[in-house]
Structure 1
Amino acid sequence: MDIVIKLSQFLLSLSLLIILHELGHFIPAKLFKTRVEKFYLFFDVKFSLLKKKIGETEYGIGWLPLGGYVKISGMIDESMDKEQMALPPEPWEFRSKPAWQRLIIMLGGVTVNFILAFVIYIGMAYAYGEMFIANKDLKDGLLIENKAMLNAGFKTGDIIVGIDGEKVIRYDSDVNRKLATSKEVVIDRNGTEQTIAIPNDFVDQYSKAGKDALATFRVPFVIGKIADDSKNTVLKPKDILLSLNGQKVKYLDEAKTILENNKGKTVEATLLRNQKEEKVKLMVANDGKLGIQLAGLDLDSLEKLGYYKISKREFSFLESIPVGIERGKDQLVGYGKQLKLIFNPETKAYKQVGGFAAIFNVFPKTWSWEAFWSITALLSIMLGVMNLLPIPALDGGHVMFLLYEIISGRKPSDKFLENAQMVGFVLLISLLLFANGNDIYKAIVGK
C-alpha cells in the first residue's frame, strides 16, 4: 500500500508539472497563431495510450513517463522533422514568426513553472500557516547525530544562529536545506558563539552518512511497542523515561548514552505514566537496548509536556502573498546553490545527482497534501531552472540562440540548429543515464 501511495503522488505531481509546463509553450504559440501539431503528456514512442485530434492539434498520453512535449510546426526540436524544415516556410510556422514572439513561446514553459511554485507557496502559507520553534526556545539546543555534521565540528546541544552571514532566529524545515549548501555556520554552544567552516565535500559526506537529518530538535524517550522477548515487560506504551541509574533523563539522546554505559546491567528508572511518576527496575541488554520500539510525540504533545514552545502563525490571503513569495525566493536561491555545488568537482556533489527513483523517494508513504504541494513546488522550481540551462534541446538552448539572433540580427542556419539539437539531445541522454545510474548504484550499495 505504501508504494501505491508514493507512486500516486509521484505520477500526479509529475503529470501536473508536465502539463502546465507544456501549456506555457502552447498558449503563447496559439496567441501568435502558430500551429501546434501535438500536445502530449509523456512520450509516445512508436505508439500512444490515448490520443484525440481536436482542430489542428493531436492531444494524447504516451507510455514513456520521462516528460512530455508540444510539437510546434516549423520548429527544430526533438522530433527532428527534417522533411517539414526542407519545405518553404509557412506563415503559421514557428520559424516564420518574429524573434521576440519565438522567445516568448520558448520562455513560456519555465515562466509557468516559476509562477506555479510561487502560487503554491502562497496557497500553503494561507492554508497551513507557519509552525516553528524559535531559537530562544531551544534551551538545550539541537540534536546532532549525522556523521557529516559531527565530522565538521557540530555537537548535540548546539543552536544554529547564522548560516553564510544570514541570521537564523528559528528552527524549521528550511534550516537543514540551508545547512546542506552552506560554507560557514555560526553556532551558540553553551552561551558562546563559534564559527564552523563547512568542508567542500560536505554534501558527499552527508549522503554517505545515511538518512539522519543534519539537525533536528531533541525529543524525550517514549516507549512504543514492547518486544515479545523483552525482559522489561514492566514497561507500557506511552511511558516516558525521566531518569536512569540515578541520572536525570530529559531527552532520548541522553538515555541512549546511559544505556550504552550500562550494558548487561539492571538499573533503576523513573517513568512518567498517566501523568504520574513510577519507579521500576529495567534490564539493559548486552547491546544497550531495552527490547522496545520507540514512539514519537507530535509538536502539540511536546509543548504540553513543557519541552518546547511551538510558535504558530496564520495568515490572511493578502498576508500570504509576501510570505509565499519570500519562501519561493528562498527555495529558488537554495536550488541555485545546489547546482553550483554539483558543477564544482571539489564538492563531489555530482555523485548525489539522482534520477526518477530519487524523486520518487522524496514523496512520503502516507498521503499528505501539505507534503505533496511542498514537494511539487520545489520540483517546479527545479524543472524551471534545469530547462533554463543553455543546453541545445532544452528551452534554455533555444533561448540562447534566439537572444543571439535578436542581438546580432543574424539567425543561425537550420543546419546549425539541427546539429546543435543533436548534440544537446546526446548530452541530455548522457545526463539522464548518469542520474538514473546513480540511483541504481545507490540501490545496490545501499547508500
Structure 2
Amino acid sequence: MTVFIQIAQFVLIISILVILHELGHFIPAKLFKTKVEKFFLFFDVKFALFKKKIGETVYGIGWLPLGGYVKIAGMIDESMDKEQMSQPPQPWEFRSKPAWQRLIIMIGGVVVNFLLAWAIYTVLLVKYGDTYIPADSLKYGIYVDSIGEKLGLKSGDKILAVDGKETKNFDEAVLDIILGDEVTVKRDGKTITVPITDEGKESVFRVQGRNFMNYRRKPVIKIVSEKSAAEEAGLIPGDEIAMVNGRTIDYWDEFTKIIKASPDKPLRITVKRNNDLKQINLQVPTAGIIGVAPDVKDLSITDEYGFFEAIPAGFNKTINVLTKQVKQFKVIFNTKTGAYKQVKGPIGIVEMMPPTWDWGFFWSFMAMFSVWLAFLNILPIPALDGGHVMFLLYEMITGRKPSEKVLETGQIIGFVILAGLMLLVFGNDIWNIIKRIL
C-alpha cells in the first residue's frame, strides 16, 4: 500500500505538470491559428491507452510515463514527420508563422511551469507561512560528523555566510554549502572563510548528504526507550549529562560520540537530576546505541504572510529554487564531486515520496519540480524547448531560417544527448537498488 501511495503521488504530480506544460504550447498555438494535431499525456510509442479526436486535435494518454507532447503541424519535432515537411507550407502550419509567434509558442511551456511554481509558493506562504530555523539562533553553533569535517567545517562553528551571502535559514545553508565555493564561519571568536573543496563535496554526495551537519544541542535527555540499556541503567527523561568516565560533557554530540565509540564497554555517567549529581553505571550494547534521544527545543520560527505580501515572496522563493538548481547542474557536471552518481530518475523520485499522502509535501514538491522542468526544458539542447528557442533566436537575429536538414540533424543529436542522460539516471536508480539488496 505504501508503494502504491508513493507511485500515485508521483504520477499525479507528473500528470499535472505535463498537462499544464503542454497547455503552455497548445494555447498560444491555437491563438495564432496553428493546427495542433496531437495532445498527449505520456508517450504513445506504438499504441495509446486512450485517444479521442475532438475537432482537428487527437487527445490521448500514452503508456510510457516519461512526459508528454503536443504535435504541431509543420514543425520539426520528435515525430520527425518528413513527409509533412516535404509538402508546400500551409498557412495553418508552425513553419508559416512569424518568428515571434513561433517563439511564444515554444517558450509557453516553460513560462507556465515558472508561473505555476510562483502561484503554488504564494498560496503555501499565505496558508502556512515560512517556517525555518534562523541561523543566528544557533548559539551553540553547529555539529559536524567526519564528512562535515572533510568539507573544512568544525563542530562549534557558527555559519555566517556562503559565497559571501549572509545565511538566514539554517536548512537552506546546508544545501548552499554543498553547492557553494566557500563558507564564512565564526570559529573560536575569529571570522574565517573556508574553501569548499570538490573532494569534500564528493564525500557528502557519497553518503547522499545525510546529516553531515546539524545544530548543537545541550546534553539533556528527552526520551528513554523502553527495555533499552539506558532504562535498565536508570537514566530518565530530564537528566542532563554532566560527565562520562570523568570527562566533562557540554553538548549532545560529545555524548553520542563516546557512546558510538564504546560498544560492549562499561561507562560511568554522571547526570544532573533535580539540581543534584547522580552517578550511573551503564553497559553499552554491541550496536553502540543505548536508547536515548535529546531534548530538542523547537528553534524554528514562522514568518506569516498576507496575500499581497506573499506574491513577491513567492516570486523570490521561485527564483531562489531556480538559482539552486542552476548551481546543482554545475556541481553535477563536475565529475570530481561525484554528484552525477546521485542523480535520480523516476524510480529514485518515487522513493522520495512520503509513505502516506501529504498534501503539504505534494504541493511543495510540485512547485520545486515545476521549476526544475522549466530549467531543463529551456536548456539549448535540440529536441528540448530550449533547442527550438535557440534556432528561433538565430533566425530572428540573422534574418535567415536554419535549413530543415540542420533542424533534423539537431533533433537527432538532441535525442542522443537525452537518451544518454536517461540511461544515466535509470542506471543510477537500478544500481542504488542493487546496492541496497547486496
Q: TM-score, normalised by structure 1?
A: 0.88
**Residues 284 and 290 of structure 1 are in contact (CA less than 8 Å); yes or no, is this contact kept in structure 2?**
no
More divergent stretch after superposition (321-330 vs 411-420): 411-420
What amino acid does structure 2 have at the position aligned with 1:81? D
What amino acid does structure 1 have at the position aligned with 2:188? N
Which consecutive unaligned segments of at least 5 residues does structure 2 have?
none
What amino acid does structure 1 have at the position aligned with 2:4? V
The aligned counterpart of 2:160 is 161
What amino acid does structure 2 have at the position aligned with 1:53? K
What amino acid does structure 1 have at the position aligned with 2:149? L
Partner SS state of residue 75, structure 1: coil
What amino acid does structure 2 have at the position aligned with 1:349? A
What amino acid does structure 2 have at the position aligned with 1:413? S
- Equivalent in 419, 422, 437 of residue 409 of structure 2: 419
Inter-partner Cα distance in structure 1 for 2:208 and 2:409: 43
Which consecutive unaligned segments of at least 5 residues does structure 1 have?
none
More divergent stretch after superposition (353-362 vs 100-109): 353-362
The aligned counterpart of 1:395 is 385
**Residues 52 and 58 of structure 2 are in contact (CA less than 8 Å); yes or no, is this contact kept in structure 1?**
yes
Cα shift readout 1:146-181 (whole Å, capped 9, x = no counterpart): x4321122122211101001112x333211221111
What is the aligned length?
A: 432
What amino acid does structure 2 have at the position aligned with 1:396? G
Question: How far is 1:201 from its partner?
Answer: 3.9
User: CA 1:166 to 1:33, structure 2 compared with 1: closer, same or farther past 3 Å?
Assistant: same
Inter-partner Cα distance in structure 1 for 2:126 and 2:248: 42
User: CA 1:240 to 1:51, structure 2 compared with 1: closer, same or farther past 3 Å?
Assistant: farther
**Residues 150 and 200 of structure 2 are in contact (CA less than 8 Å); yes or no, is this contact kept in structure 1?**
no
More divergent stretch after superposition (281-290 vs 320-329): 281-290
Inter-partner Cα distance in structure 1 for 2:65 and 2:103: 27
What amino acid does structure 2 have at the position aligned with 1:172? F
Question: How far is 1:203 from its partner?
Answer: 3.4
Inter-partner Cα distance in structure 2 for 1:55 and 1:296: 64
Q: TM-score, normalised by structure 2?
A: 0.89
Cα shift readout 1:196-249 (whole Å, capped 9, x = no counterpart): 111124432211135523422235544354357x5843668x824412546665
The aligned counterpart of 2:176 is 178
The aligned counterpart of 1:285 is 284
Question: How far is 1:394 from its partner?
Answer: 0.6
Question: How far is 1:287 from its partner?
Answer: 3.6
**Residues 252 and 294 of structure 2 are in contact (CA less than 8 Å); yes or no, is this contact kept in structure 1?**
no
Inter-partner Cα distance in structure 2 for 1:429 and 1:436: 10
Inter-partner Cα distance in structure 2 for 1:332 and 1:239: 44
State whether structure 2 residue 161 is matched by structure 1 residue 128.
Answer: no
Inter-partner Cα distance in structure 1 for 2:276 and 2:84: 82
What amino acid does structure 2 have at the position aligned with 1:159? K
Partner SS state of residue 315, structure 1: coil
Equivalent residue runs for 1:322-401 within 5 Å: 322-401=312-391
- Equivalent in 280, 297, 301 of residue 302 of structure 1: 297
Inter-partner Cα distance in structure 1 for 2:200 and 2:126: 35
Give the RMSD, CA atoms, in angstroms.
2.8
The aligned counterpart of 2:266 is 265
User: CA 1:192 to 1:370, structure 2 compared with 1: closer, same or farther past 3 Å?
Assistant: farther
- Equivalent in 376, 395, 404 of residue 405 of structure 1: 395
User: CA 1:231 to 1:119, structure 2 compared with 1: closer, same or farther past 3 Å?
Assistant: closer
The aligned counterpart of 2:110 is 110
User: CA 1:414 to 1:367, structure 2 compared with 1: closer, same or farther past 3 Å?
Assistant: same
**Residues 43 and 66 of structure 1 are in contact (CA less than 8 Å); yes or no, is this contact kept in structure 2?**
yes
More divergent stretch after superposition (44-53 vs 96-105): 44-53
Identity of aligned residues (%): 45
**Residues 221 and 251 of structure 1 are in contact (CA less than 8 Å); yes or no, is this contact kept in structure 2?**
no
The aligned counterpart of 1:25 is 25
Inter-partner Cα distance in structure 2 for 1:277 and 1:83: 89
More divergent stretch after superposition (199-208 vs 177-186): 199-208
User: CA 1:334 to 1:444, structure 2 compared with 1: closer, same or farther past 3 Å?
Assistant: same
User: CA 1:64 to 1:276, structure 2 compared with 1: closer, same or farther past 3 Å?
Assistant: farther
Equivalent residue runs for 1:26-65 within 5 Å: 26-65=26-65
**Residues 110 and 383 of structure 1 are in contact (CA less than 8 Å); yes or no, is this contact kept in structure 2?**
yes
User: CA 1:288 to 1:72, structure 2 compared with 1: closer, same or farther past 3 Å?
Assistant: closer
The aligned counterpart of 1:198 is 196
